[in-house]
Structure 1
C-alpha cells in the first residue's frame, strides 16, 4: 500500500495531464527517475489512487449529476435537462442541457460519437430552436471523411497535404471565381477518388460561396455558424 501511495503522489500530475498514461510507462519512468523497480500491482493501484485524486469518486460524481438535473429543472424554468442511463444498471449514456433563463446555449455529453447520439443531440437542439422560429445551419469540417478518401498510403504525405489544402481553399472561397480557380487545380490531381469525392458533393454543402443560409447572427469558432 505504501508503494502505491508513493506512486500516486509522484504521478498525480502526470495522470492529470495524460489520463491514458500506460502502466508500463509509469514503471519505466519510475525506474528512470528514481532508480526503483515497482511491481505491476502497485503501479496499477497507485494509478487508480491518482485518478481518484484527480477526478474524484465516479459513483459520487454520478449521484451529483442526478442532483444537478433536478436542481436545474427546479430553479431554472424553461430549461431542457435530460440524463439518460442504461436501464437496470444506471450506466451513464448521455446528458443534454439547455438553460432557459440565459442566452441560448446547449451542450451534450455522450458515451461515444455515433450516428444515434448525433441524432439524439440534434433532436433536443431542434426542440429548443424550432419554437423560436430560427433557422440554424450546422457545419462539420468532414476532416475524417476526407482523410479516408485521400489515404496517406500510396499518395505520400506531401500530396495529401496539397489536396487537403486545395479543398480547404475551395470550401472557404468567398467568390465564385476564387472557388473555380481552386476547384480547377483540385480536379487535375491524378486521383479518381478525389474527383469522385468532389463530383458527388453538392457545392452548397461545403463551399462558403454557395451557402444558401443566412450569414448573420451568432458565430462560434468551432465551425458552427
Structure 2
C-alpha cells in the first residue's frame, strides 16, 4: 500500500510502478484518466505532470524512448527488408545534419494484398501525437467486404508539396507493376494537388465529399444559422450525387436559390466539376 503523503511528494517513479499494468493494456490512457483512476483506486491525488511523466516512463520501459527510436531507423529498414522481402522502406536524412527527414513504409503483405482490393485509394495526412509532432501521410484502400485496407505510410514533418512528392513517387513505384488505373480520393489540399498532378497525371481524382461539405458549411456560418446551413448542405448533397447533367443543373438551381448565387458560384468555381460531381466524373 502507498503510505499517506501529499501528491507533491508522490513522484512519477513511484506512480509508474502502480499504473504500469494498466498502461500496458491501454496505451491511449490520458493523464487525467490516470489521475482519476489513481485517486479512486488508492485514495491519493497526483498532479497532471506526475501522471504524464509516469505514463511516459511506462511507455519507455516497454518500447524505449522516442528519441532513441530515430537512431534505430536504419536498423528497422534493414530488418524489414530482410524479414519481409518485397517490402518498401525508403529513409531520407538531411545530408548536412544527418538528422531524420522522412520515411516511407509499405510492407510486402500490404503491397501484395492491394492487388485484390478495389481500384481506389484514399490519401490524407494526420498529425503525429508524439512529442516530435510531425505528420503521417497515408494511402488506404478498400477491400471487397467494404473494409479499409492500409497500403502505405510516410512519416514527415509537415504536409508540404515536397513531402507529398516523396510519398507519391514511392507509392507510384508500388502501383505501376500492378498495371491498374487507381482512383484517388483526397481533401484537395494545395500541396497534395500539385504533387499528385506531377506524379499521377491523368489518374481519376475525387475530392472527399466530407471535406467539401465542411468547407461549404463554413461559408454560411454567419449567414442565417443552423437551419440555413442544414438546407444548403441537403441540396448540395443532391448536386454532388446527381447522376446526369440535367439532374445536376436542376439541383444546382435549387441550391443557388437556397444559398445565394454569389456565394455558391464562388465556391463551385474553386473545385472543377469532374473532381466532385458524379455526373461529370
Q: Which bracket does the TM-score occupy, shorter chain normalised?
A: 0.5 to 0.7
Specify which structure has the higher proportion of strand. 2
Alignment map for 1:59-74 (pairs within 5 Å): 59=67, 61-62=69-70, 65-74=73-82
Listed one character per residue, the Cα deviations across residues 100-143 of structure 1 (whole Å, up to 9, x for unaligned) are 97244740222333333222212222233345543323122164
Aligned counterpart for 1:38 among listed residues 46, 51, 63: 46
Report whether the alignment pairs 1:153 with 2:229.
no
State yes or no: 1:93 paired with 2:102. yes
Q: Is 2:171 the partner of 1:125?
A: yes
In the alignment, structure 2 segments of 5+ residues that lack a partner are 1-8, 116-150, 187-207
Q: TM-score, normalised by structure 1?
A: 0.67
Contact 2:35 2:47 in 1 (8 A): no
Post-superposition shift, 1:55?
5.3
8 A contact 1:110–1:117 mirrored in 2: no
Aligned to 2:112: 102
RMSD, matched Cα: 3.8
Structure with the larger RCO, 1 or 2 (CA within 8 Å, 6+ apart): 1
Between Structure 1 and Structure 2, which shows a larger proportion of helix residues? 1
* Cα distance in 2 between the residues matched to 1:71 and 1:117: 24
Corresponding position: 1:198 with 2:274: no
Match of 1:180 in 2: 249
Displacement of 1:64: 5.4
Compared CA separation, residues 94 and 76, structure 1 to 2 (3 A): closer
Q: Name the structure 2 match of 1:114.
A: 160
Q: Where does structure 1 lack aligned partners over 5 or more consecutive residues?
A: 212-225
Alignment TM-score, normalising by the size of structure 2: 0.56
